[in-house]
Structure 1
Amino acid sequence: MSIYGIMRSSVSGMNAQANRLSAVSDNIANSNTNGYKRSQTDFSSLVLNSGATGVYSSGVVETTTRNLISQQGSLSYTTSTTDLAISGNGFMVVSDAAGNPLLTRAGSFVKDSQGNLVNSAGLTLMGYKLPYGDTVGVANGYAGLEAVNLNTSSLIATPTTSGILSVNLPKSADMGGTAAKINAGVFDVSAANVGDRVSFDISLDGATAKKVTVVTTEDNLASPAAFENALQNALDGVFGTDQVVADVDSSTKAISFATGDKGSAASIKLENVGTANGDDIISSTLGLAPATSTVAATGNFASVKIGTFNSTGASIGDRVKYSIAVDGNAPVDVEIVLTKANTASAAAFKTALQTAVTAAGLGDVKVSVSGTDISLSLGTASNGTNNISVGLAAASALDGDGTTTSNLGLTAAAIVNGTDRVPPSANLATSTYTKKTSLVAYDSVGAPVTLDIYMTKTSDNVWEMAVYNRADADKGTGEFPYSSAALTTQTLSFDGDGKLSSAGNLTFVVPNGKEMTLDISSFTQLGADYTLLEGQTNGNSPSDVDKVEISSDGIVSAVFENGSTLKLYKIPMAMVESPENLQTISGNAFQATMASGAVTIGFGGEGSLGKLVSGAVELSTVDLASELTDMIEAQRGYTANSKAFQTGADILDVLVNLKR
């Protein structure tokens, strides 16, 4: 190594430390600059190969300064929603005064005189404009980007283009229409006898007629209400509960029968009205047909089994008459009139028979039941001289179709059909509906339009949905106020699980507005009451902008004084393969280079991109303590290199002085 090599190596070292001090100085100067990325100086040696072992040739040191662009800075939160920071990877796209696209993480944006968002370096934030909420974007370039402008000094109105309605419709809702109803005479007891059996045939919905019998009693002849109750009990016993509904008017005493179902498919017919007197006996009812028998057991109760209870084939109103003799006395007739209650079980019949036995003056005779076996016994123990005999009284096989003095005013009636519901889509004053709700939409100038939505059950699992403009309503006397056509009508069909199986969208044009799509896909038909779960539309009436909100995925929305929102822009995020190789531009901005790779565009939260944070700025990545440490190290290194240079100079002086 020559003396000059000493001096050249020292100069190289001083230059290298000077470069490091320059980077440290820049870092310290920008320690409070938002979005600034610290620089770092790296050293590498340059050695001249001497080509011979043991021969040393002096080298120099080379420096490379890197900007640590991918390093995340701390976030500092502010009160301005237009201050933006990135939590994670990526850059915001900005443009300079010449319109050149650049990248930055310095997001302290404010509105300029034109309403554009610019940061402290004067760079303008870029984004995609969202016409009525549509999202656009180009993945591999800056095409379609424009300055984010928040010039909202004028009123803004947005027409409605979409909405959502979520409702549970009750599975048990009435399908409407009217029941089939016939007038069946006027209640008349003038010629009635207690114990008469009034019978008639009723045919429902065109099916085979069924016979209904009512046995007259002192109670059910006492009033129209009592007779109505007797009729209803008899009808329920034949057809089932409320399948046919009886009515006897309390004032006019008019008798009518109506179907439980409604609609044109429901029909009713009354015929073969007649009576049979109270002396008729049905001899083969309930399986109780004992032969005349006598039981006398010493020291025990005298008893006789009268049969095994069996209600199969029993007719309400039939009578069973028993002849009971005790201790050889004359037989006493005991009569039971069959009802829905006393034929329900063996125990129920036993109770009714005991009541009749007691009423006949046979107080010592007791009725007992074991399973379905029914027996009569004397109520006192004896020494074996007592006896009891039971038999059926003489019977004729009449079934109640004979005619006597009174049918209580009942008269035959021809077949009558019900009527179907008139749905709202018929646009008639007689239209009926199941449920109704309303939504407010906005036309092209922001004027509110109230939409009346009618939901009408038309058949099992099928509903009609009709939408009307309330401005078209006619304030008439009918329940349904529209004579004009609906804006749209749609059939809703539900599967066995109560889920909507028909189309899930309803599309129509808002009067003086835009085409609107109403999402009804979450409609259900469950076994619960009508429930409105959600109902909303987009759009707004003319209103001043109250504030601006920016979401984590970059949506810039104007919030109006009336509470509605409008999406204005979507701010993209950019990414390159090698952020450290971006070219640094004044204003904490960067430009893509061949070394950094091409720019790709996405949105916050997608893939490896971070998220935008509104109301925050990213601080400088400079750590003052580290920088001061680097400064001291560089200063010491520079001083040491200068000492080496001075030593080389001294040696050179000695060499020069050797000639003297």
Structure 2
Amino acid sequence: MSLIGVLRTGVSGMNAQSNRISTVAENIQNASTTGYKRTSAEFSSLLLDSGDVGNYNSGAVETTLRRSVSEGGPIASTNSDKDLAIQGNGFFVVSDAAGAPFMTRAGNFVVDGKTGNLVNAGGFTLMGYSLANGTPNPVLNGVADLKPVNVSVMGQEARPSTSATISGNLSFETPVYDPATSTIGYSKKNSLKVYDNVGQPVTLDVQMTKTAANTWSVKFFNPPDATTPVGTATVAFDGNGKVTSGGSTLVQVPNGREIKVDLGGLTQLSGDHALSGTADGSSPTSVSGTAFGEDGTVYAVYSDGTRKAAFKVPLADVASPDNLSPRAGNVFTTSAESGDIQIGFAGAGGRGILKAGALEQSNVDVSTELTTMIESQTVYTANSKVFMTGNELLETLMNLKR
């Protein structure tokens, strides 16, 4: 090996350790970056042809950078219901402003004030399948059908009533109705508030008439002065005041649905009448929030507390995640070594599940990085000594001619 080779070897070693220290600096800098994957420098020897046996030509050190993409970071709870973490394998599919797809584990999403889309800290938009036409079948190697996740497009939502309940006590002391002596056509009256197809509240008049010792006729009217009921029922009680038959009936809501009314909670006991009626449904309400299911379903949460499935977020995966190509913004693209994107739903095909209100932290261990930095510094110093020694030998050689 020539003295020039000594210098070359020393420089190569210093360059290698410089690259290693650079990765350490990047890792420490991103130790608090959501979903960041640590980079490590791996070394391999680069030998030159030495020719005949007994000869030696100094080589160098070749540096290869690897990202530990497949190594998950710890998951920490947060106070935001839009923060998402993947527990297990998979990546979120996101897109940039130009619509190009990327993959990421950074799930710190917020609602963009201009578009209403969910975007992460890197400015990338979360992509998912719209559920407007039902649950889709994911395309294994394509993202063409994915849309920006935006629950604000759901607009207002009216919920027509589909069921109701009337409960309480019908007084045992109520006399059997006698049309010849009664001035009204019923024994007891109550009201039930329901909602039609456009969310308009409709008040049904509920007239209850005792037709026998343990039997009551229940009729529903709208409007109250109507002569034809929109629903009827005959409720029978046993000797203990419990319903034995007629515990439910169907009632047609004007401009609405046919709802099932539960009467099984009625009793016929001694004492005063005490009745109450409730129904589901609501007037039009607007979207007030977002909720996520473990399977990736995105729900639009309305101001009345109800929610409706709007999107389903798939998870992407590749054959070799550690060979993905990193891009600015803590995202990745595929490479020839990583394999193509495979799309599927959370909890299926070996993919993980989604955790709302949580974030995956960086997989950087700062103590390990500091140890690596000390090691690299020591080796860098040793290589600089090799270079300095080679330089001194060259100077000695050059001084021989003087």
What TM-score comes out, normalization by structure 2 length?
0.73
Paired with 1:440 and 1:68, the residues of 2 have a C-alpha distance of 59
Paired with 1:135 and 1:440, the residues of 2 have a C-alpha distance of 34
Matched, 1:447 2:200: yes
- Partner secondary structure for residue 151 of structure 2: coil
Tell me the equivalent position of 2:86.
86
Matched, 1:119 2:143: no
* Partners of 1:76 and 1:618 within 8 A in 2: yes
| CA positional deviation for 1:571 | 1.3
Matches for 1:16-31 after TM superposition, within 5 Å: 16-31=16-31
Paired with 2:121 and 2:292, the residues of 1 have a C-alpha distance of 19
Matches for 1:147-546 after TM superposition, within 5 Å: 147-151=148-152, 155-158=156-159, 443-447=196-200, 471=222, 476=227, 481=229, 512=255, 540-546=282-288
Tell me the equivalent position of 2:43.
43
Distance change (3 Å), C-alpha of 1:11 and 1:568: same
Tell me the equivalent position of 2:358.
616
* Partners of 1:16 and 1:62 within 8 A in 2: yes
Paired with 1:3 and 1:483, the residues of 2 have a C-alpha distance of 105
Paired with 2:385 and 2:343, the residues of 1 have a C-alpha distance of 53
Give every structure 1 segment of 4 or more consecutive aligned residues whose post-TM-superposition deviation is greater than 4 Å. 439-444, 448-452, 468-476, 509-514, 536-540
Paired with 1:60 and 1:470, the residues of 2 have a C-alpha distance of 93
Paired with 1:537 and 1:57, the residues of 2 have a C-alpha distance of 89
Tell me the equivalent position of 1:145.
146
- Partner secondary structure for residue 567 of structure 1: strand
| CA positional deviation for 1:471 | 4.3
Matches for 1:56-71 after TM superposition, within 5 Å: 56-71=56-71
Q: What whole-Å deviation, never above 9, does each CA across 1:173-213 have from its counterpart, x for those lacking one?
A: xxxxxxxxxxxxxxxxxxxxxxxxxxxxxxxxxxxxxxxxx
Equivalent residue letter for 2:293: S
Tell me the equivalent position of 2:321.
579
Paired with 1:121 and 1:151, the residues of 2 have a C-alpha distance of 21
| CA positional deviation for 1:448 | 5.5
* Partners of 2:41 and 2:65 within 8 A in 1: yes
| CA positional deviation for 1:115 | 1.5
Distance change (3 Å), C-alpha of 1:451 and 1:610: farther
- Partner secondary structure for residue 648 of structure 1: helix
Tell me the equivalent position of 2:400.
658
Tell me the equivalent position of 2:338.
596
* Partners of 1:159 and 1:445 within 8 A in 2: yes
Equivalent residue letter for 1:30: N
| CA positional deviation for 1:55 | 2.5
| CA positional deviation for 1:637 | 0.9
Paired with 2:383 and 2:48, the residues of 1 have a C-alpha distance of 19
- Partner secondary structure for residue 651 of structure 1: helix
| CA positional deviation for 1:547 | 3.2
| CA positional deviation for 1:512 | 4.5
| CA positional deviation for 1:559 | 2.6
- Partner secondary structure for residue 445 of structure 1: coil
Matched, 1:636 2:378: yes
Matched, 1:73 2:64: no
- Partner secondary structure for residue 284 of structure 2: strand
- Partner secondary structure for residue 131 of structure 1: coil
* Partners of 2:222 and 2:230 within 8 A in 1: no
Q: What whole-Å deviation, never above 9, does each CA across 1:48-94 have from its counterpart, x for those lacking one?
A: 23243332221111010011111111112111100111111101111
Equivalent residue letter for 1:598: D
Equivalent residue letter for 2:158: A
Paired with 2:24 and 2:345, the residues of 1 have a C-alpha distance of 35
Matched, 1:550 2:292: yes
Tell me the equivalent position of 1:293.
none
Paired with 2:349 and 2:317, the residues of 1 have a C-alpha distance of 11
Equivalent residue letter for 1:447: Q
| CA positional deviation for 1:569 | 1.4
Distance change (3 Å), C-alpha of 1:646 and 1:101: same
Distance change (3 Å), C-alpha of 1:540 and 1:596: farther
What TM-score comes out, normalization by structure 1 length?
0.46
Paired with 2:259 and 2:338, the residues of 1 have a C-alpha distance of 46
Distance change (3 Å), C-alpha of 1:579 and 1:451: farther
Q: Number of matched residues? A: 336
Equivalent residue letter for 2:57: S
- Partner secondary structure for residue 332 of structure 2: strand
Q: Identity percentage over the alignment?
A: 49
